[in-house]
Structure 1
Amino acid sequence: MSRGVKKWSEDDILKLQHAGRGQGRLASYIPWLDSDFYSQCRTHKVWGRKTGRAHQLLSDGEHAAFLLLQRDPKVVDIREQYPLDRDLTRKIAKGLGIRHPVYPGTHVPLVMTLDFLVTKKVNGREEFEALSIKACEDLKSSTTVARLEIERCSCEALGIPFRVLVKEQLPVQKAC
């Protein structure tokens, strides 16, 4: 059974924005989505020693990637379920000739999210990297590939490198 809001509206999105979803850094960051929302996979709530807060991870793949990020000495902040600007994603989808995703059962454009927006300290400077974690099977879906292309182009427009990590290629780790 799905969890969360069944029929999304612009008011629902505004309420989440006003609640601070998708805003902040480190301990003050609040993910756009959390485990109260629908997820087809197993969810994880994991303490982040780098950020000083609990992270909402919506799949086993996100969990595996998070553990790798926690161990990377260059990583200084990890923001999961990071929202992309809808005006930007809609413009990019239109330019690509791709139908922008909408919330199920509505015509309300989806707030697309990155699985992770990572901040790294490299040579004394902060750099960002966007990560999307997908299962190998999901990459066979044209819908998934279209969404990834919208994410990639959005990040490119923002000057943020974008990578897709395949869940099955991530090393299995245990939390320390």
Structure 2
Amino acid sequence: MAKRKREITDAKIDRFIKEGRGQGTGADYLPWLRVQDVPSTGRSTRGVGWTTGRQHTFLSDLERDYFYALDYADGVTDIREQYPLLPLEETKLIADKLGIAHPKDPKTGVDIVMTTDFVITYNDKEYARTVKPAKELENERILEKFEIERKYWESHQVDWGIVTERDLPYTLIRNVEWIHKEYHNEDVEKLGIFAVQSLERSLAALIQSGTAIAKACLACDEQMGLEAGTALAMFRHFVARRIWSVNMNEKINPSNSANGFHITGAEGLLAKGG
């Protein structure tokens, strides 16, 4: 199989722009870079994002983890990753004024389109955030490129900042990761609304009594004649949809009871289906 050509050319930049990359919002947004475009250990969510309703592209585990925190956060209404700093002439001019070499493709020598890892809409205001391991902030060249990025967003009057692993709430993130794919749960449609509501009531009663999550889920599977694991997936679905609430800042362990469990009263969310 032929290797994918990842080097940047003027023709490739023009093609990306014509494809609409870096344009749109919400479900219609297209990231400038995709996993196959860069020599990286690419990561992507196992399901679509809760906030945007589309599949997201991540180029590192750190980007993916930050995304989980954003996707769960109240007030976040859009998440755009791999956002291009266009037009290219703008970052080239900034680099020239700063006396910094603009990033180029090492093979072709073509100036590349710089990107910001995330542009976030939070409470109707845009924020730009770059995600990097803390140790990389000691690299002088990386800091030079960050300065170009900072100046770009400053000129657009957008709040820009750097996020490292030290800033992330990892207990919350791992909990969100555990429930994330069950936000869209096929069993909701397969079981039907009445069966789902019956399962919800039975499972909630057991969990509220202090029964361990896994034990309560297994009991409901057996009681309703469901395939093993169905109730546990639905538990994750109810929490993801915020029909139920648990303490997301303490590790959710199915072998234990649910910390801070309560019913939010948002039964109408079930109408969204899978």
Contact 2:6 2:37 in 1 (8 A): no
Which one of 89, 94, 99 corresponds to residue 97 of structure 1? 99
Partner residue in 2 for 1:132: 130
TM-superposed deviation, 1:129: 0.2
TM-score, normalised via structure 2 length:
0.59
Aligned positions of 1:1-176 closer than 5 A: 4-46=4-46, 47-85=48-86, 86-121=88-123, 126-172=124-170, 173-174=173-174, 175=177, 176=179
SS in 1 for 2:131: strand
Contact 2:116 2:149 in 1 (8 A): yes
Q: How many residues align?
A: 170
TM-superposed deviation, 1:39: 4.1
SS in 1 for 2:56: strand
SS in 2 for 1:53: coil
**Structure 2 runs not aligned, ≥5 long:** 180-274
- Cα distance in 2 for partners of 1:119, 1:39 equals 29
Contact 1:27 1:51 in 2 (8 A): yes
TM-superposed deviation, 1:42: 4.6
- Cα distance in 1 for partners of 2:127, 2:98 equals 23
**Structure 1 runs not aligned, ≥5 long:** none
Amino acid across the alignment from 1:151: E
TM-superposed deviation, 1:140: 1.5
Partner residue in 1 for 2:201: none
- Cα distance in 2 for partners of 1:99, 1:69 equals 33
* RMSD across aligned positions (CA): 1.5
Contact 2:104 2:111 in 1 (8 A): yes
- Cα distance in 2 for partners of 1:35, 1:42 equals 5
Task: Identify if the C-alpha distance between structure 1 residues 24 and 4 changes in structure 2 by more than 3 Å, giving closer, same or farther.
Answer: farther
Q: Give the structure with the higher percent helix.
A: 2
Task: Identify if the C-alpha distance between structure 1 residues 45 and 71 changes in structure 2 by more than 3 Å, giving closer, same or farther.
Answer: closer
Which structure has the bigger radius of gyration? 2
TM-superposed deviation, 1:87: 1.3
- Cα distance in 1 for partners of 2:111, 2:45 equals 28
Structure 1 stretches of at least 4 aligned residues deviating more than 6 Å after TM superposition: none
TM-superposed deviation, 1:143: 1.3
TM-score, normalised via structure 1 length:
0.91
Higher relative contact order (CA 8 A, sep 6+): 1
TM-superposed deviation, 1:106: 1.7
SS in 2 for 1:104: coil
SS in 2 for 1:155: helix
TM-superposed deviation, 1:14: 0.7
Q: Give the structure with the higher percent strand.
A: 1
- Cα distance in 2 for partners of 1:142, 1:150 equals 13
Amino acid across the alignment from 1:81: Q
